[in-house]
Structure formats: structure tokens, C-alpha cells
Amino acid sequence: MKYLTYCFFISILMMVRVLYGGVVPDGYRVETISTPEDVFLEVGGIGFLQDGSVMFCSREGQVWQYKNKQWSLFADGLYEPLGLYVDPKTDDIFVVQRPELTQLIDTDHDGKADYYKTVGQGWGISNNYHEYAYGPVRDSKGNFYGALNLGHDEESGNLVHDSIMNRSAKYRGWFFQINTTGEFVPWASGLRSPCGVGINKDDELFYTDNQGDWVPTSTLHHVVKGRFYGHPASLEDHPDFLGKDLNAITVEKYDTLRTKPIVWIPYGELANSPGNLAFNETQGKFGPFEDQIFIGDQTLANVMRVVLEKVQGEYQGVVFNFVNGLQCGVIRNRFDKDGSLWLGQGARGWNSVGPKPFGIQKIVWDGKTIPTEMHAISLTDQGFKITFTKPMRESELKDLSSYTIKHWGYKYDSHYGSDKMNITSVDIKKINVVNSKTVELELPLVTDRVYHIECRVKADDNSELKNRIGYYTLNRLR
Amino acid sequence: MVKTLTTVCMSVLLCPILLIAQNSVDDSTLQPSEDKGFFEFIVGTVKGRLAFDKTLLIVTPGSQVTIILKNSDEMIHNLLLCEPGENVPGEVGRLALALGAEGMAKQYVPDSEKVLYHTKLVYPGQQDEFTFTAPTELGDYPYVCTFPGHAQTMKGILWVTDKIDHAEREEDHDGEELEIPDEVKKKYILKPKDQAMVIRAGVENTPSNCIAVGLPSRVHYVFDPDNGQVLYGWRGDFLDVGPDRGWSLDRGGQPCHTLGVRFSVGANGCPFHIGTIDQQPQIKFIGYQREGFPRFDFRVDDLTVSQTIISDQSRHGLIYYYEVEGATEDLYFKLDTSKVKLKSDVGLFQSGALMIPKDKASSFTIDVTPLL
């Protein structure tokens, strides 16, 4: 009877049903990859070998190789690896496991790793289930980077101002570097549940965090060495705070110490638990979104698109939905050399809105169809400029009723998440149609707010925008 | 505020009594509706899993019922009591999801006649409750969490019944959704067959950064890479990794169980000392070789040590085959000899330690047998 119930439970998890959405921009399609039979392949990381093989590490500790549509087991017995990196020149394979960064070496070339080499370690784990380690990404000099989740164990660490998550072991809540000599270098602090790490071609580092205590809604951060990103638990290992009572420091003080996210990702609308960043550096193979960033979400089973710009020397930018209605929550994504975006999925323990408990899909562009989307939203002196992927109807571009704009803030404290604070509708003062693909909206600008910019303009070819809302994080004015 | 707190405190205190008695209790803050009785339930969340910790609540028709949702999980939940119907939780869950951007503001409570009563969204560490008069119509009234994704697994039943004897249903239902069936548990019991298994995972009562090795001989051990030593061995089946893998169901990440009886190998920190018997070396782990009997490589100060660990079915104990590169001084190998007997093909015992002359350090064997 128990077994039947369990099977029923699992079958509910597996039942195919479309829950909501199903947005896919024109010209893109979602392909589903069959995973090996009887394997619970919840993807923790994705990488590509030069021969076209795709490597996946799984939360259950295995690494699977997918080559010519055949599956083979490359490594196993790893400790919940949540990130995999393949060196593009040497095919060297690295994973971040809970306790360390490891290279998996197939010395006898039989298709199975036989040497598990410790590349770097230096952080603590205390057997609390939430002590995830994420990464690795690698810069052009060969250094690796990753991020360490806080623990969720009130017995093994201080709960600063009644926080929910804590520093259950050394360097929890830190961004780290493993340098080329294998040394662990604490890089930045204040992280909570930093499931996604990313690096662009200029070696700039980023991470996403999941909404929770001290994280009012999910976030995207630009990582700069030495900065503090908001969750105080990690400060226990910070040299400037050694021996200090973190509860004696006020929330207001922490607020002044932190670096704010470069993009707020509204909870429930766009993401609840964002994953890693995939930089579209495919030279046009993934459509008209070159150099933009793609991020999946574990709960809402969607993929978002982020466009950043620098204002007063710091990044800020806009996030859109891109694709939703996927079969399962997405925690990993990565572009292959053909410009397809592979999605690694899994939602064990938190569930996703998709019908499957794990899986692999990929988003492929047909190489010709231009989707109808806002290409970007950027800040001007007096408002925002929206650029489109194709010519739009001029009559609608200049019509005030084509847009709905509002903004809100978030409250920073030790509570789990924050409501949208002071949601304020914005009246557009003036519209300037620059050309058929560009419009400027003049409106009042207020910093520390997320601007919800909804646009209902149709394209000249009669198509409608598949994703109508951009969320622009306004930290700084031009 | 004070009154609310008092009520909550009293409710918590009264709860066990109410659950046992399940009938009216005199209390000035709660008035039973006529003499139909009242019930109070604290429904919690299961750690590491999206599930309520109670999945069957039993009440009599027309009674006054309070349901308190107490959230000890690390994410947001709610609890909606619904009209009867097997598919209702799924349907209400989908409607909640369809609220999209409005979901948070609406507490993920959809406008549906199927929803009878509900809490608001309850944040980690918080609680919320609602009180209502139980329907007079007998039946199963499902309750569900409608936070996105949760309705698949997070639900239970309020059974409105006039039966006096609930034993059969309670027994049938008892923990059914929460307990992992034996058939499933079995799948996570690792038993090496023709080759060694090397598993990096948390193991109960063992430092977190350890490596468990299961051998076909059914003699297994845990290696501690931070100290370059075997911590202990055991005989039997190898390892239950279900708690770590969450039986493919929950968040997992809990320590694995060693299956069998552990034996001592006299572990006492790094066994190597260079030059003098009390020297304390720095250990740096290099990695391990998986093929055949696993081999562990680590640095002991400037030495490179490779340790292959061998066992056989006939006895407790392990055999360590060492290869050492770079020895310029004699080595001392020390274990807790009150727990084990050592035998070696090289060296001499001096003050409880095995002295290995530098010219014989390149390869040697140490046989470790636990004293019973």
C-alpha cells in the first residue's frame, strides 16, 4: 500500500500536463532530450567536449556523457555536484562538489573517469542539507570561481537578527576563487542561496540569489572582490568583523554596507529560484539577442533574458521573460557551439510548476525568423528607450495607451522576502518615436525602484510581442 | 497583539490535549458551537520535503475547527481547505498558478467556489490560522498548499465524519504519504558487487569531508582526506545513501548510514611523522584512483604518499600498501595501538610507533588488525 502511494506520488510528479504559459518567441523551438532509463538525472551542471559530447552532472552524484544520442556513465560517487566546467581547449572536466573543486580524469581513455583530483578546497561543510556549492566558472587566466550557500540549521550557527539561514560552517555565504595554484581565496560576502554563477568574455563575474531572508526578491549581482551583498551571516568569516556581535549591527547599517543587485527579479512573476547565467556569445547563432544573458528558474520552469548597461560606472538593467511552460524547473543553462541553449532541469525538494521532476531540454533558433520582442530597454536622461527586434507600427508606438508603467521598491531586512513597496503608476510625459524599431518614453525617474514597463505595440507584420513586460532596475540615473 | 499572542500560546499548549481528547475542553477564549465540540490542529511542514506533517484531520460535522499552519520550512506556504473532490487540490493549484503576477498579492488564493477557507501566505518561522464551523455534510475535504509547484505534493484531508471509531482509517492513513516504503528504501542501499564503490557523501557520526569506500569483500572503510588516514572500517552491506539522495523525493542532504558493525583501525590523526616521533606534518589531499582497490594520494609535508587499501573477506582489518616519494628522513607511523595490532614488512617498533628507515620508505605494507 505504501509503495502504491509512493508510485502515485511519483506519477503525479511525472504526469504530463501544461500548467500555464507556454510562451516561446517566434523562430525558437524547445526540444526535449531523453534521459537514460532508470536514472534520476537532475542536472547540476552542463558542459561540452570538442567531439560534440554533452556532459551532465547530477544531484545524485553522477556525471553522464551524451554522445550521438547515446548515454554513458563517466563518473559517480560525487557529493551533490551542482556545477560542471569543461575546458574548451583541453576537454579537462571539472565539477564543484559540496566539499571541493574536483577534476575528473580519464587516464586510460576508456570513457570513464578513474582519477578524481582535488583542485581546490577551503570552505566548511557541516552535513546540513542546504550547504550547496555552486560553480565553477573560469576566467581567461585559469582561475576558478564559485559560490557557497548558507546553511539552514538553527543549531549550528548564529541567526543574525532572527534570520532563517545561517553560517553553519566556514565561509558559508561567500563567493570564492580557486586560483591557479589551487589556493582558496574568499572573494565577496553576503550571499544567501547563490544558485547561479556566471562570467562574461571580459572576465566579469556575476551571481543570482534566491529570495529569502535579507533577499527581498530574487536578484542578479555583479561580483566585485571585497564587496558585501547583503546577508550578514557570512560576515562571521570577514576579517573586518571577526569577533564582532553581528546582532549589534543594525539593519540600517547593513543596508549602507551592502552592494545592491544590478537586477531585481520580481518574485512569482519571473522567478522564484534563479539559476546560472548563460552569456549569449554565439555570434548570432541564437537570434538577435547577442551578448544578452539567459537565466533559468527552478520553480517557474522558465528562462529569462537580461540586458545590462553601465550607468555611472555600475551595471544595471532589464529582465524579460523569454520562454516559459517548460517541462521542469531550470537550474542550469549553457550555449553549445551551434548556439543552442541547453537547459538542465530538476526540482527535487522544492517542486516546479512543470510536470516532470527532472530532465533536459534545449532551445533552438531556426536561424532565420526574427521574433517579435523588445530587444532591450535602456535608461535615457529623461526616461527609457525601448528598442525592438523588428519594425513596429508607428501609430501604436506613439500612442500613450500602448504602455503601462509602474514602479515599486523592496524592503531589506531579515524577514523572508518583501512585498512590492509603494507600487506607483507612472504617466508618460512624452513619446518620441526615433524610428520604427526605437521609441523613447519621457517620464519621471526615481532611483532604488523597479520599473515595470509593459508594451502592447504590434509589429508592422501584425505579430504581437510574445513577452510584453520588461522590469528595469533603476539604481542610478544617467 | 497581546491577546493574539496569548491565544497562540494557549493553542499550542492545548493542542496535544485536544488531539487526544478530541472533544470539548473548557476554555474562555474558545467557545464551542452549541455542544458539537471543537477541534484544533497544528499543521506543520516536513523538514526538507514539500509536505504537510499531518495529512488526515478528523472532525465531527458542525463542530468548530481551528487549523493553524505553522511553517518551519525555509520557504513560503499556505493552506487552503477545499470542497470535496479528488482532483480539487490539483485544480485549485492550477488556478492559483494562473494568477501569475497577481499571485503574491492574492496569497495564491484563487477566486473559486472550491476554496472554502484559507490561511494567508505564511513565511518561514511564522504561522497563520483560520477557524470555521465544520460542514454538516460528511466527506473528505482536501487541503492543499497553492504556492507555485507545491500543490503536487503538499496536501491532506479533513475528514468530516460521525463515526466514533476512526482506527481503521487512521491506521490506513498513518504516515503513509510521509514514510518512504521499504521497496524504495532498498534501491538506495549500496552493495558493491565486482568492483569498489567510492562515494563522497556525508556519513553519520563522521566528519563531512570524507570518502566512503565499499569493497566486494564486504569489508568497507571511510577515508579522511584532511588527515590522510582511514577513520574506521565496517563489515556488512555498504551504505544507505537514501537520506543523502532524498529517495528521489525530498531535498536529501542528510547523512548516510553505514550498514554493518564498525571496527576500529586505531585512527588518531595523520599516522605519519617525519624525522621525529612527535612531528606534526601538514596534510594536503591530492586525489584518488578509482580502479581496482582505490588508492589515495596526499602530501605529508614535502612527501608524496600513495595509500592503497586492501581487505579480504576472511577477517576484520585492513592492509595499507604505501608508496612514498621524497623521504630524506626516517618516518614514524603511529596508530592507537590500544585499539589495533600492527604488522609490517619493514621497520621496527619504537615507543608504540613503527620506525620506517628512509631507504625503505619507497614502498611498504602495514597490516592493521583491530583488537577485540
Averaged pLDDT for residues B198-216: 95
Residues of chain A found within 8 Å of residue B215, distances taken between Cβ atoms = none
Averaged pLDDT for residues B271-279: 95
How far apart are alpha carbons A74 and B213 in whole angstroms? 18
Domain with residue A378: its CATH number is: 2.60.40
- Are A357 and A382 contained in the same domain? no
Percent share of chain B, pLDDT over 90 = 72
How far apart are alpha carbons A151 and A126 in whole angstroms? 9
- Higher-confidence residue of B20 and A445: namely A445
CB A374 within 8 Å of CB A470: yes
pLDDT of residue B78: 97
Averaged pLDDT for residues A269-292: 97
Q: Which residue, among B104, B153, B238, B293, would best test binding to A if mutated, counting the most A CBs under 10 Å from its CB?
A: B104
Q: How many CB atoms lie within 10 A of CB A451?
A: 22
- Are A178 and A39 contained in the same domain? yes
The residues pairing with B7 across neighbouring beta strands, listed in sequence order, are none
Averaged pLDDT for residues A417-425: 95
pLDDT of residue B329: 96
**Considering A316, A340, A365, which residue would you say is the last residue of a domain?**
A365
Shortest alpha-carbon distance between residue A79 and chain B (Å): 5
CA angle A132, A130, B125 (to 5 degrees): 150
- Higher-confidence residue of B316 and A230: namely A230
- Are A190 and A318 contained in the same domain? yes
- As given in the structure block, the three cell numbers for residue A350 are 522544492
pLDDT of residue A1: 46
The residue type of B5 is L
CB A473 within 8 Å of CB A264: yes
Averaged pLDDT for residues A302-308: 98
- Are A360 and A452 contained in the same domain? no
The per-residue pLDDT for range B60-88, each reduced to its tens digit, is 999 999 999 999 888 899 999 999 999 99
CB contact under 8 A, A353 and B148: yes
Tell me B339's DSSP state. Answer: T
- Are A210 and A282 contained in the same domain? yes
- Are A423 and A292 contained in the same domain? no
**What SS3 class is residue B8?**
helix
pLDDT of residue B312: 82
The pairing of beta strand B348-350 with beta strand B353-356: antiparallel
Question: Among A19-23, B30-34, B337-341, which is the least confidently predicted range?
Answer: B30-34
Range of the domain at A402: 374-474
CB B146 within 8 Å of CB B117: no
The answer to whether ipTM exceeds 0.95 is no
pLDDT at B11 over 80: no
**Among A211, A225, A65, residue whose Cα is nearest residue A145:** A225
CB contact under 8 A, A415 and B123: yes
**Considering A365, A384, A407, which residue would you say is the last residue of a domain?**
A365
Nearest chain B alpha carbon to A150? B74
Q: How many CB atoms lie within 10 A of CB A432?
A: 15
CB A477 within 8 Å of CB A447: yes
Q: Which residue, among A129, A152, A302, would best test binding to B if mutated, counting the most B CBs under 10 Å from its CB?
A: A129
- Are A127 and A89 contained in the same domain? yes
Averaged pLDDT for residues A63-76: 98
Averaged pLDDT for residues B275-280: 94
The total domain count for chain A is 2
- Are A356 and A379 contained in the same domain? no
- Are A400 and A326 contained in the same domain? no
The pairing of beta strand B64-70 with beta strand B38-43: parallel
The per-residue pLDDT for range A326-346, each reduced to its tens digit, is 999 999 999 999 999 999 999
Nearest chain B alpha carbon to A105? B289
- Are A357 and A384 contained in the same domain? no
Tell me B134's DSSP state. Answer: P
Q: Residue A5: pLDDT band by 50, 70, 90 thresholds?
A: low
The per-residue pLDDT for range A155-168, each reduced to its tens digit, is 777 889 989 899 99
Report yes or no: B48 at the A interface, CB cutoff 8 Å: yes
CB contact under 8 A, A351 and B124: no
- Are A145 and A258 contained in the same domain? yes
**Among B147, B135, B122, residue whose Cα is nearest residue B68:** B122
Report yes or no: B94 at the A interface, CB cutoff 8 Å: yes
**Among A286, A406, A357, residue whose Cα is nearest residue B250:** A357
pLDDT at B28 over 80: no
**Considering A339, A365, A391, which residue would you say is the last residue of a domain?**
A365
pLDDT of residue B178: 67
Please report the number of interchain residue pairs, chain A to chain B, with beta-carbon separation below 8 angstroms. Answer: 166
Count, residues in chain B: 372
Q: Compute the half-sphere exposure of residue B132: CA atoms within 13 Å on the CB side of its CA.
A: 18
The per-residue pLDDT for range A163-207, each reduced to its tens digit, is 989 999 999 999 999 999 999 999 999 999 999 999 999 999 999
Nearest chain A alpha carbon to B77? A350
pLDDT of residue B34: 55
Q: Residue B36: pLDDT band by 50, 70, 90 thresholds?
A: confident
Shortest alpha-carbon distance between residue B55 and chain A (Å): 13
The residue type of A271 is A
How far apart are alpha carbons A186 and A206 in whole angstroms? 15
The per-residue pLDDT for range B148-161, each reduced to its tens digit, is 889 988 999 999 99
The per-residue pLDDT for range A12-58, each reduced to its tens digit, is 444 433 344 589 999 999 999 999 999 999 999 999 999 999 999 99
pLDDT of residue B16: 36
**Among B143, B160, B127, residue whose Cα is nearest residue B89:** B143
pLDDT of residue A3: 54
Averaged pLDDT for residues B218-246: 96
Domain with residue A332: its CATH number is: 2.120.10.30
CB contact under 8 A, A114 and B101: no
Averaged pLDDT for residues A378-390: 98
Mean pLDDT of chain B: 88
Q: Which residue has the cell 570518502?
A: B211
Mean pLDDT of chain A: 94
- Are A428 and A351 contained in the same domain? no
pLDDT of residue B181: 86
The residues pairing with B130 across neighbouring beta strands, listed in sequence order, are B67
CB A437 within 8 Å of CB A392: yes
Residues of chain A found within 8 Å of residue B98, distances taken between Cβ atoms = 20
